[in-house]
Amino acid sequence: MILTKEQQAILDGEKGETLAKVMKTLVMYGDAFEAEKLVPITSKYNHLVTSFGLKVMSPVYDLMQQLLDAGVSSEQQFSVDPRPLDKNVPANFLQNLVFNKFMYTKQDFYEKQLKELGLMNDDAFSCTCYMDEMGNKPKKGDVLSWAESSAVVYANSVLGARCNRNSGIIDIMGSIVGYVPYFGLLTDEGRKATWVVKVETSKKPEAQLLGSAIGMKVMEEVPYVVGLDKWIGNELNDDACAYLKDFGAATASNGAVGLYHIENLTPEAVEFGDKLIAEGAREYVIDDAELERVQNNYPVIWKNPDAAPKLCFVGCPHLSLQQLKDWTDNIEAELKNSGKKKVAIPTVFTAAPKVLEEFNKTPYAARLKATGVITSYICPLMYMNNPLCKKMPVITSSNKLRTYTSARYYTDGEILKLITGGKK
Amino acid sequence: MKQFQGRVVTPGTVTAEAVVTTEGFNTLASLQMALQFGDKEVKCGDQNNSELHGKSLLNKALCLPQTIGSTTGGLVLYCACAMEKNPACMLFANHIDSLAAAGAVLADVWVDGVSMPVVDCLGDEFLAYVKDGMKITVKENGIVEVE
C-alpha cells in the first residue's frame, strides 16, 4: 500500500505508539484486500456497531481504554447500535438477574467510554441511524467507516454512499485516523453486480424473506434485482425505504451482502442501469415456490415446536415512524375483526429513540398502547442472546433476529394474525 | 497427505485437527453464546450451520469458505483470541472477507502472545478434500498440509 507522508509518519510512530498501532491495523486490513491506498472519510458522522457493555467483551473495552489513555479519540462524532436493555420490555426475575448481574455489567462503563470517544448524543443509539429523526444520513458518494451490517447495506444501496462491511473496532479506527483502505465497495469495480436476481412472484414479496433468499444465494456478492420495482415502485418514498431497510438487513444477516441494486429504484441503478452488471454475472430466479422453499427450510429450534409464543419482537432493524403508524392501524383493524381489545401475546415494537419521540407526539402512540403493544429502543438481538431466551418461544418477523437467536420467523401478516389472537 | 498453497493473512505455524464447514461461517452466531457463558469447548452455536452446530471449535483448524453475518464478527473473533478461546487457525478456501480479516488483524496487532495463523485463497479443492478430524499443518509460507 502506498501511504502519504502524513500516513507513513503516523505508522512510524511520530504521533505515538497507540496511533501507530491503529494505523498498522488499517494498513494490514487493507493489505488483506490488496488496497493500494487509504482514502479520506467524507461523511459527517460515523456509526459504530458495538453498543453493548457485555462482560464477556472486556477485551473490546480494554482496547477502547488504551485509545482513551493515549489521548486518542474519533475525528468524527458517531452514532452507535441500540442499547441492550430497557425496563419496559418484559423480563422475569431470573432474566433481569442475568441481564444486570452477569451480562451487561459493563454497560455504564462502556457508554462513558463512548461519550469520551465522540458519541453524538445520549439518544444516538439505533441500528437505523440513517432515519431523518436520528440525523446521521450520509450523502451519495460519501466515504464511510461504518459497521453494523444493516446500516452499511442501506447506506451503500439506498443512499449511494460508499462503505465496506467493516467490523466493529475497525469502524472507530477509521475515524480516529480519518482514512479507510480503498477496496471492495469503495471502488466502482467492486460495486458491480455479479448476480442478476429476477423477481417473478405473483404478489409483493415479503421484504425479509426475499432478502433472506438472496443473501443465502449470493453471500457477499452484489445482486442486481429486476422485477421488484413492479411491487415497490420507482420512488424512494417512506414505504420503499422501509421495505429496502428490512430487505437489506436480511440480505446482510442471512448472507453477507453489503450492496444491492434495485432496477429503476436505487440511485446507482437509476443512474447506470444494467451497466452495473458485471460480465459473466450469474442468474437467480425467485418465484412464489422459491420463497416458500426458503421459509420452510428455516430450522425451528424450540424445545417444543408447538409451544405457544410467549413474546413477539417486531423491529429488527428498528421500525420507521411510518411503519409504527401502519402497524398501529393494522393491529387495531385485526383486533376489531377478532372482537378483542388487546394483543394476545406480549409484543414489543422497537425503534430508534428519536423515532419513538416523534411517534409519541402523534395520536398513534396512545392507540398502539391501548392495544397492549410495548414500544422500546432496545436491540432485540441483545435481549435474546442468552440461554434463558433460548428456552423461550419468541416469534418475530425479523430474519436477522431469526438468524442469530432461537426466535421463530413469521411474515408480517402471520405475526399480525398471531399477536391479535387469530391463526396465522 | 496433500498440500495446498494459500496466501498468508496473518502469519504463524500450527498443527491441529480439522473442523470443516462448506457453508459461510457466521462468527457472531457461532461464537457469541459460547464466549458469553464460558463454554470451555467453545461449541458452535449457529443453528443454521448443520455442519458445525454443537461441535467444538477450540484449538481446531477451522476450514471454511468465508465468514458471513453481523459486522460484530471481527470483534467477536478478536475477543475469542484475547480470551484464548479461538480456533488454532482459520483456513479459507475463498479470499478472506472483511469481517474475518478485521478479526485476524485486530488479534495480530492488539493481543500479545496470541497466534492464530490465517491463510486464505486455498481453493475449492481444499474444501472438497478436507474432512472433520483430519490432521492439518499450517506452514509459514501459506502451505497447508492435510493428512
3-state secondary structure string across B14-61: EEEEEEECCCCEEHHHHHHHHHHCCCCCCECCCCCCCCCCCCECCCCE
Tell me whether B86 touches chain A (CB under 8 Å).
Answer: no
Q: What is residue A100's predicted lDDT score, i.e. its pLDDT?
A: 85
Spell out, as residue ranges, where chain A has pLDDT lower than 70.
422-424
Maximum distance among all Cα pairs of chain A, rounded to whole angstroms: 72
Give the separation between CA A107 and CA A129, rounded to whole angstroms. 20
User: Are residues A349 and A319 in contact, defined by beta-carbon separation less than 8 angstroms?
Assistant: yes
Domains and CATH numbers, chain A: 5-186 (3.30.499), 191-296 (no CATH), 311-419 (3.30.499.10)
Q: Between B10, B33, B120, which is nearest A385 by CB?
A: B33
Q: Which amino acid is at B134?
A: M
Residue of B nearest to A251 (CA): B69
Interface contact flag, B102 A169, Cβ < 8 Å: yes
DSSP state of A50: -
The reply to whether residue A403 touches residue B110, judged by beta carbons under 8 angstroms, is no
Q: Is A88 exposed, middle or buried (0-12, 13-18, 19+ CB in 10 A)?
A: exposed
Model pLDDT, residue A74:
83
CB A224 within 8 A of CB A276: yes
Tell how far CA A397 is from the center of its chain: 14
A63–B108 CB contact, under 8 Å: no
Q: Rounded to the nearest 10 degrees, how much is the dihedral formed by the CA atoms of A87, A90, A95, A100?
A: -10
Q: Specify whether the CB–CB gap between A146 and A173 falls below 8 A.
A: no
Q: Which residues of B touch A51 (CB under 8 A)?
A: none
Phi, psi of B135 (to 5 degrees): -90, 125
User: Do the Cβ atoms of B132 and B105 come closer than 8 Å?
Assistant: no
Residue type for B109, please? V
Q: Which residues of A touch B79 (CB under 8 A)?
A: 56-60
Whole-number pLDDT of residue A36: 96
Mutate to test the interface with B, among A404, A408, A409 (most CBs of B within 10 A): A404
Chain A residues touching B48 at Cβ < 8 A: 299, 403
Residues of B in contact with A129 (CB under 8 A): none
Residue linked to cell 423480563: A91
Residue type at B18?
A: A
**A350, burial (CB in 10 Å: exposed 0-12, middle 13-18, buried 19+):** buried
Q: Which residue in the set B73, B98, B108 is minimally distant from A164, CB to CB?
A: B98
* Optimal mutation site among B51, B85, B98, interface A, most CBs of chain A within 10 A: B98
- The band of B70, judged by pLDDT with boundaries at 50, 70 and 90, is confident
Q: How far apart are CA A216 and CA A241, in angstroms?
A: 22
Could you give the count of Cα atoms lying within 13 Å of A376 in the half-sphere of its Cβ?
Answer: 26
Chain B: nearest CA to A27, how far in angstroms?
10
CB-based contact A206:A288 (threshold 8 Å): no
* CB-count exposure of residue B63 (10 Å: 0-12, 13-18, 19+): buried
Interchain CB distance below 8 Å, A255 and B103: no
Closest Cα partner for A419 from A360, A355, A349, A350? Answer: A349
* Closest in A103, A220, A253 to B70, CB measured: A253
Q: In which residue are the cell numbers 447506506 written?
A: A155
Strand, coil or helix: A145 = coil
How far is it, in rounded angstroms, from Cα B100 to Cα A103? 25
pLDDT for B78: 96
Residue B81 scores a pLDDT above 70: yes
Structural domain B2-146, CATH architecture: 3-Layer(bba) Sandwich (3.50)
Q: Alpha-carbon distance A361 to A232, whole Å?
A: 28
The span from the CA of A193 to the CA of A224, in Å, is 6
pLDDT of res. A422:
67
Distances A379 to A98, A351, A369, A384, A398 between C-alpha atoms, Å: 16, 9, 20, 9, 12
Q: Do B35 and A169 touch (CB under 8 A)?
A: no
CA atoms within a 13 Å half-sphere pointing along the CA-CB vector of B94: 18
Neighbours of A338 (CB within 10 A): 12
A284: its cell numbers: 437467480
Chain A within 8 Å of B74 (Cβ-Cβ)? yes
Taking only residues 315 to 374 of chain A, the set having a beta carbon closer than 8 angstroms to any beta carbon of chain B reads none
Q: Give the pLDDT of residue A423.
A: 58
Cβ of residue B71 closer than 8 Å to a chain A Cβ = yes
DSSP state string for B83-137: TT-S-SEEEESSPPPHHHHHHHHHHHHHSTT----EEE---HHHHHH--TT-EEE
DSSP letter (8 states) at residue A185: G
pLDDT of the residue at A424: 55
Name the percent of chain A in helix, strand, coil, to the closest 5.
45, 15, 40
Residue B35 in contact with partner chain A when CB distance is under 8 A: yes
All residues of chain B having their beta carbon less than 8 Å from the beta carbon of residue A59 are 78-79, 82-83, 111
Spatial separation of the C-alpha atoms in residues A256 and A277, rounded to whole Å: 19
Global pTM value: 0.93
Tell me which residue in B10, B36, B97 faces A103 most closely, judged by beta carbons.
B36
Q: Does B111 touch chain A (CB under 8 A)?
A: yes
Q: pLDDT at residue B29 above 90? A: no
